[in-house]
A and B are shown apart, each in its own frame.
Chain A
Amino acid sequence: MLKGSLRKLLNALLLMIAVLVLNFTLIHIAPGDPVEALVGEMGGATPELIAELRSRFGLDQPLYVQLGTYLGRIAQGDFGHSLYYDQPVTALIAERIGPTILLVTTALFSAIALGTVLGVFSAQRRRSVLSHLVTVISLAGFSAPVFWVGIMLILLLSVSVPLLPISGMSSADSAASGLFYILDVLHHLVLPALTLALIYLAFYSRLSRASMLEVLGSDYIRTARAKGLPKRMVIYKHALRNAILPVVTFAGLQFGQVISGAVLVETVFAWPGLGTLAFESILRRDTPTLLGILFFSAVMVVVMNLVTDVVYRRVDPRIKAR
Chain B
Amino acid sequence: MLERLARRLTSAAPIALAAAIGLAPIAQADPKDGGTLTTFTSGYRTLNPAVQSGAATGAPGSQIFAGLVTVGKDYVVQPYLADAWQVSDDQLTVTFDLVGGAKFHDGQPITGEDVKFSLETVRANHPFGSAMFGNVESIEVPAPDKVVLHLAKPVPGLLYSLQPLLMPILPKHVYGDGQDMKTHPRNMENVVGSGPFKVEENNPAERLVLVKNQDFFLKGKPHLDKIVYPMVKDPLTRVLMLEKGEIDYAPFAGIRPNDASRLEKAKGAHVTTDGYEAIGYVHYLELNLRNEPFSKREVREALAHAIDTGFLAKVIFGGRTVPGTGPLHTGNPFYSADVPTYEPDMDKAAAMLDAAGYPVGADGSRFSFVLDVPSWAPAAHVPMAEYIQAQLAKLKINVELRKAPDFGTWVKRVSSWDYEATMNGSFNYPDPTIGVHRHFDCDNIKNVIWSNTQGYCNPEVDTLLGAAAVETDMAKRKALYADIQRKVQEDLVFIYMPQDYSATVYSDGVANLPDSPFGALSPFYDVYLDK
Interface string of B280-296 (1 = CB under 8 A from A): 00000000000000000
Known: A46-B448, A96-B205, A170-B206. A32 touches B127 (CB 8 A): no
The answer on a CB contact under 8 Å between B51 and A168 is no
Which of B86-94, B138-146, B257-265, B405-413 contacts its partner? B405-413
Give the one of A44, A84, A169 with max B CB within 10 A. Answer: A44
Once A36-B411, A40-B411 are accepted as A-B contacts, the answer to whether A171 and B246 lie under 8 Å apart by CB is yes
Select one of B183, B206, B236 contacting A272, CB under 8 A.
Answer: B206
- Proximity string of chain B (165-204) to chain A, C-beta cutoff 8 Å, 1 when within and 0 when not: 0000000000000000011010110000000000001001
Q: A283 on the interface (CB 8 Å rule)?
A: yes
Check if A248 is an interface residue, CB within 8 A of chain B: no
Whether A36 pairs with B408 at a CB distance below 8 angstroms is yes
Q: Which of B242-269 contact A (CB under 8 A)?
A: 246-247
A41-B45, A46-B448, A166-B236 known; A172 and B408 CB under 8 Å? no
Complex-state Cα separation, A272 to B205, whole angstroms: 7
Q: In this assembly, does B7 line the interface, its C-beta being within 8 Å of a C-beta of chain A?
A: no
In the bound complex, what is the Cα–Cα distance between A84 and B52 (angstroms)? 12
Contact B237 A283 (CB under 8 A): no
Q: Which of A37-72 contact B (CB under 8 A)?
A: 37-47
**What is the number of residues of chain B that contact chain A, defined by CB distance less than 8 Å?**
50
CA distance A41 to B56 in the complex (A): 11
Q: Interface size (A, Cβ < 8 Å)?
A: 39
Known: A37-B411, A166-B240. A32 touches B206 (CB 8 A): no
- Is B407 in contact with A41, judged by CB distance below 8 angstroms? yes
In the complex, whether A35 has a CB less than 8 A from a CB of chain B is yes
| Cross-chain contact A282 with B406 (CB below 8 angstroms) | yes
The answer to whether A85 touches B409, judged by C-beta atoms less than 8 angstroms apart, is no
Contact between A44 and B246 (Cβ–Cβ < 8 Å)?
Answer: no
- Chain A, residue nearest B404 (CB): A32
Annotate B356-385 by CB proximity to A: 1 below 8 A, 0 otherwise.
Answer: 000000000000000000010000000000
Q: Which chain B residues (411-448) contact chain A, with CB distance < 8 Å?
A: 411-412, 415, 446-448
In the complex, the chain A residue whose C-beta lies closest to that of B53 is A43
| Chain A residues, CB < 8 A from B415 | 36
Query: Do A44 and B447 have beta carbons less than 8 Å apart?
Result: no
Q: Is B406's CB under 8 angstroms from A95's CB?
A: no
Instruction: Check A283–B182 contact: CB distance below 8 A.
Output: no
Chain B residues with CB below 8 A from A272, complex form: 205-206, 231
Q: Which of A17-36 contact B (CB under 8 A)?
A: 31-36
B197 CB to nearest A CB, Å: 15
Question: Total number of A-B contacts with CB less than 8 angstroms?
Answer: 121
The answer for the CA separation of A38 and B127 in the assembled complex, in Å, is: 12
Nearest B residue (CB) for A85: B45
B328 within 8 A of A: no
Expressed in whole angstroms, the Cα–Cα distance for A17 and B181 within the complex equals 35
Residues of B within 8 A of A31 (CB): 409
> Is B70 located at the chain interface by the 8 A CB criterion?
no
With both beta carbons as reference points, the residue of chain B lying nearest to A281 in the complex is identified as B406
Report B455-499 residues with CB < 8 Å from chain A CB: none
Interface residue? A86 (CB, 8 A)? yes
Complex interface: chain A residues within 8 A of B237 (CB): 165-168, 270
Complexed CA–CA distance, A167 and B234 (Å): 7
A174 at the B interface (CB under 8 A): yes
Q: A32-B409, A166-B237, A172-B247 are known contacts. Are A43 and B54 too (CB-CB below 8 A)? A: yes
Tell whether A167 pairs with B236 under 8 Å between CB atoms, given A85-B204, A172-B40, A174-B230: yes
- The answer, yes or no, to whether A173 is at the interface (CB within 8 Å) is yes
Interface of A toward B, CB cutoff 8 Å: 31-47, 84-86, 95-96, 158, 165-174, 270, 272, 282-285
